[in-house]
Amino acid sequence: MSITHIVAANYRRVLERIAAACLRVGRNSAEVTLVAVTKYAKLDWVRALVAQGHTELGENRPQQLFSRALEIGDDRLHWHLIGPLQRNKVRSTLPAAVLIHSIDSMKLLQAIERIAAELELEPRVLLEVNLSGEEAKHGFRPDELVTAWEQVLSLRRVRVEGLMTMAAYSENPEDSRPAFRALRNLRDRLRLQSPGGPSLPHLSMGMSGDFEAAIEEGATLVRIGSALWEGLG
C-alpha cells in the first residue's frame, strides 16, 4: 500500500475517533482541532497528510518548525510550536508560529511581550501547566499560575488563549483523565478570577494514546503524531 493510502486511512480513522468522542459527550466535532505532530514524520508522509487537506501541523522545536515550513513551502499551512521555547528563539519563532502551546514561565511570557511589541505582532499563546508534578515536565504549577494571573492580565501584546498540559505517561488512557479534568477546572477558576479577562477558549491536551479522554474532558486542541503515521517506517 502506498504512503498516500496509509496516511489517508490513518487520518480518516483519527477523525472518526475524534467525532465519536465528541458524540459521547454531546460536543460538536468542529470544536476540536487536530494538530498533526510531525516530529518523527518523514517529509513525504507530511506531504501526504497535507494532500488530504489538513493544514494544522505541530513541531516540538523551533528550528524543525522553520525547516519543515520552508521544505513544504505551502502558505496555507498553520504551524504550531508544541515543545519548549527558549528565550533566545522567541524573535525568530513569533512570526512563524500560528500558536505557541508551551509558555512555561512568566519570564518567557514577558520576553514574548517585549519582543512582540518590537515586531508589532500579537502572538497567540497557551500557558503550559504541569499537573503531573513530574520534575522532567515543563510548566507552571497550578498555584503558581493562579498567583501570577494578575501579571498575565497586564500584558498588552500577547494573546493568552488558553492552557496546555501533558498527562503522565500510562498505557491506560483513563489514567490521564484526572489531569485533563484538572486543566479544565483551572481554566474555569481563572475565568472566574477575572470575569473581564481573556475567555481562554482553548485547552490543548491529549495525544495519540489518550486524546479521546481529553476530548471528553473539554480539549479543543489535540496533538496527535503516531496514530497518523502507523504502518509507515
Gap between the Cα atoms of 153 and 100, Å rounded: 18
User: Using CA atoms, how far apart are residues 134 and 199, in angstroms rounded to an integer?
Assistant: 28
CATH architecture of 3-228: Alpha-Beta Barrel (3.20)
Q: Where are the beta strands (DSSP E) in 92-165?
A: 99-103, 124-128, 159-164
C-alpha cell at 192: 472566574
Q: What is the DSSP letter of 82?
A: -
Beta bridge partners of 58: 37, 80
pTM as predicted: 0.96
pLDDT for 55 equals: 98
Which residue type, as a one-letter code, is found at position 116? A
DSSP string, the chain: --HHHHHHHHHHHHHHHHHHHHHHTT--GGG-EEEEE-TT--HHHHHHHHHTT--EEEESSHHHHHHHHHHH--TT-EEEE-S---GGGHHHHTTT-SEEEEE--HHHHHHHHHHHHHHT---EEEEEB--S--TTS-SB-HHHHHHHHHHHHT-SS-EEEEEE--PPP-SSGGGGHHHHHHHHHHHHHHHHH-TTS----EEE---TTTHHHHHHTT-SEEEE-GGGSTT--
What Rg value do the Cα atoms of the chain yield, rounded? 17
Q: What is the pLDDT of residue 156?
A: 95
- pLDDT tens, residue order, the chain (233 aa): 899 999 999 999 999 999 999 999 999 999 999 999 999 999 999 999 999 999 999 999 999 999 999 999 899 999 999 999 999 999 999 999 999 999 999 999 999 999 999 999 999 999 999 987 777 678 999 999 999 999 999 999 999 999 999 998 889 999 999 999 999 999 999 999 998 889 999 999 999 999 999 999 999 999 999 999 999 97
37 three-class SS: strand
